[in-house]
Each structure stands twice: as structure tokens, then as C-alpha cells.
Copies of this chain bind each other. A is one copy, B any other.
Amino acid sequence: MSPPALPLEPGSTIGILGGGQLGRMLALAAARLGFDVVVLEQKADSPAGRAACRLIVADYGDEAALAQLAGLTNLVTYEFENVPSASVAWLAAHGVEVAPGSRALAVAQDRFEEKTFLNANGAPTVAFAKADTAQEAADAVAQIGAPALMKTRREGYDGKGQRWVEHAAGAVSAFEALGGVPVIVEAAASFVRELSVIAARGRDGATAIYPLAENHHENGILRRSIAPAHADAALNDQAERIAARVLAGLDYVGVIGIELFEMERGQLLVNEIAPRVHNTGHWTEDGCEVDQFEQHIRAVAGWPLGPTRAIARVEMVNLLGEEAEAWAKFAAEPETRLHLYGKRGSRPGRKMGHINRVRPL
């Protein structure tokens, strides 16, 4: 195939790498705009696979599967940032446009590259240092100061692949506990709040930025978001400036999630970026005219971006594990919108769905 003619016409097929809930909600948004969706996912039974027009079950690196995908569509996006770069390269070499592009993936897949990129683009972060060996890890903690957070440079989500180093003496054991792989050591952020901004950039370079969300994590997993977060104009301006720099710096196409720390004097630091739709943006489904899922589809399809202002105040609560069993209670609450992912089998901490509790602005 040759690269897609943009804007992509309704009736065309969009490929999604990944079959989880983000892929499912992307697929539903794409269908509403008249697109067909083909999902490539490793598991035969998946939330997105069951909401898509076509499903290819294979490893993301399987060339036969990629060829099948390339035969069905010339525009592919993804729902998670650990897509193999070789797969993206293979698709590009076969005329398939992958958005967001390989630059965003490369930066987001490596926490050291990510923070280096952010600082180089005027988006401040905590102090950090990389370490490839136990000795370098000890040096890095000494340089950054304990307590510090040690994370594997690659992989890891929802608090996995990271470890607090409370005292300098613990650096080596933390490094070993993380598998002896390359790590990044980050200074502890004495933040007052965790915030995030969901932003989008179209193929024409236009940007659209949603209001800030205030996020609460438990055990490294997002528990709830409140949006729009209470924030003064200066804080909003700062967030928008950061989002604009990140989007431009990555020459980004699509929706991105940017997690922020609000520090004591109101300064924002970037915690991390995710080159995809984001859990802290689920509030937009019931709080905005165009939610993050439709916005992402619009962006990658070369459509104009939609409005991002809030039309309601939303408390988004993740339903983890057996919490989703209370669906009947939530369904009976007039102010509560229920979003369930159709996952088979719950285990503690697994994201089974979310609710948006909606009230007027």
C-alpha cells in the first residue's frame, strides 16, 4: 500500500495495535465516525478485539501479522507505548503510516531519553541520572540524594519496575532487585498535587489542550481524577505551555497524556508522558464535547481537532478488580456514567472499568 490519503475518509479502516480498554474505547470512537477498525493483539480474547470489525491475533513483532494488517489498512495507531520499534519500522517500510510516530515512541519507551527530551524542550522535571551498573546506580543515588526513586529505563507501568531508595546505602540492592538492567534515578518530588494534561496535535500542527485533571494514585495505580482541576490562570498557562512544547518537540500527531507534579510554589514538573490516550483523560468522555478517544482518531486521521473545553465537572473513579461487581449500584446513580471494558476475570488492581460522576460546572 501507499501512505494514506489524508484526511482519511469515513469508511476507511484504521488499525490499532493493542487490545486493551484503551483500544476498545478508541475502536468505539472510530466506529462513531464511520471508520472500520482492525485490532492486532496477542490474546485471542480482548476488550478491543471484541469491539472491532476485524481482529488479528499475533505478537506485535510477527511479520506475517503485520503484513496482514498492512493489507487491511495504511493507517495504524496504538494504545500502549511499548510497541516494538522494529514493528513500526516494518510497517513504515510497507507504506503504512503509524501515528504517533517513531520519535514519540522512542522518547516514551526510555525514561532517561524522556526526561532528557523534556528538559531540552523547556519542560522541567525532577533531577535525574542514569545508571547501567550497580556502581553507577550507587553514584547516581549519591548525586541525586536519597530518598530517590529508581526505575528501569524501559517497560513498567502502574508502579511496576520501580523502587524507592530510602538511603544511599540501598542503591545497589535496589538496582539488583530491578533486575540489574539500565535504570534512571530520580529525585523525590515533594509535590502538593498530581495533575495531568491531555493534549492533541493534528497533522497540520494545530493543537488542542484539555483542562487540567487532578489525580490520586494508590499503590502506583490511578484511583481517581477530578476535572477540571481547581487551578488559577497561571497554573493553566504553565500546563498549556508545557503541553505545547512537548507536542511540538515530538512533532506529535495524536493525543498525549502528560503527568505533572504541582510543586509548593505552583511550579509544574513533568512526571512522565504517554504517547497515547490516557487513563487520566477518561473524564473527557462525559465532561467534554469531543472526548480524548474521538480526538485521537481525528488527529491521526488528519481531521480537524475538536473542542476541548469542559462542559461538566467530572470525578472519574477507576473500578479495580472486584469493585466492578458493584456495577448495579453505579448504574442506579443518576449522576454516574458507567464504562465497562468487558474483561474476562478480575484480579486485584486490574482495571475493569471506570465511572464518571458528572455534575454541572
Chain A positions near chain B (C-beta within 8 angstroms): 7, 9-11, 24, 28, 31-36, 50-51, 53, 286, 289-290, 298, 303-304, 306-307, 311-312, 324, 327-328, 331-332, 334, 337-344, 353, 358
Bound complex: CA A181 to CA B296 (Å):
52
> Which residues of chain B are near A324, meaning CB under 8 Å?
10
Interface centre among A31, A53, A344 (most CB of B within 10 A): A31
7 new A-B pairs (CB below 8 Å) besides A10-B353, A28-B31, A286-B289? A31-B342, A34-B340, A289-B358, A298-B331, A303-B328, A304-B331, A306-B334
A303-B328, A307-B334 are contacts. A50–B34 as well, Cβ < 8 Å? Answer: no
Interface centre among A36, A289, A290 (most CB of B within 10 A): A289
A28-B31, A31-B28, A32-B28 are contacts. A342–B303 as well, Cβ < 8 Å? Answer: no
CB atoms of B50 and A342 under 8 A apart: no
CB atoms of A340 and B289 under 8 A apart: no
- Give 9 closest A-B pairs by Cβ, nearest first: A34-B340, A50-B53, A304-B332, A10-B340, A31-B51, A34-B342, A307-B334, A303-B331, A28-B28
> Which residues of chain B are near A307, meaning CB under 8 Å?
334
A-B contact list, 14 entries, CB within 8 Å: A9-B327, A10-B327, A10-B353, A11-B342, A31-B51, A33-B338, A33-B340, A34-B340, A50-B53, A51-B53, A289-B334, A290-B337, A304-B328, A304-B332
In the assembled complex, the CB of A14 is this many whole angstroms from the nearest CB of chain B, namely: 12
Cβ-neighbour of A342 out of B10, B337, B353 (below 8 A)? B10
> Which residues of chain B are near A289, meaning CB under 8 Å?
286, 334, 337, 358
Bound complex: CA A358 to CA B343 (Å):
34
In the assembled complex, the CB of A270 is this many whole angstroms from the nearest CB of chain B, namely: 29
Bound complex: CA A306 to CA B235 (Å):
36
Bound complex: CA A96 to CA B25 (Å):
29
In the assembled complex, the CB of A202 is this many whole angstroms from the nearest CB of chain B, namely: 11
Bound complex: CA A11 to CA B328 (Å):
13
In the assembled complex, the CB of A1 is this many whole angstroms from the nearest CB of chain B, namely: 19
In the assembled complex, the CB of A336 is this many whole angstroms from the nearest CB of chain B, namely: 9
Bound complex: CA A337 to CA B311 (Å):
14
Bound complex: CA A32 to CA B32 (Å):
12
Bound complex: CA A312 to CA B312 (Å):
12
In the assembled complex, the CB of A320 is this many whole angstroms from the nearest CB of chain B, namely: 15
CB atoms of B303 and A34 under 8 A apart: no
A307-B334, A334-B307 are contacts. A36–B50 as well, Cβ < 8 Å? Answer: yes
> Which residues of chain B are near A286, meaning CB under 8 Å?
289
Bound complex: CA A2 to CA B344 (Å):
22
Bound complex: CA A311 to CA B24 (Å):
27
CB atoms of A328 and B51 under 8 A apart: no
> Which residues of chain B are near A36, meaning CB under 8 Å?
50, 342
> Which residues of chain B are near A331, meaning CB under 8 Å?
7, 298, 303-304, 306
Question: Which chain B residue shows the least CB distance to A356?
Answer: B289
CB atoms of A341 and B34 under 8 A apart: yes
CB atoms of A7 and B328 under 8 A apart: yes
In the assembled complex, the CB of A112 is this many whole angstroms from the nearest CB of chain B, namely: 38
Bound complex: CA A339 to CA B290 (Å):
12
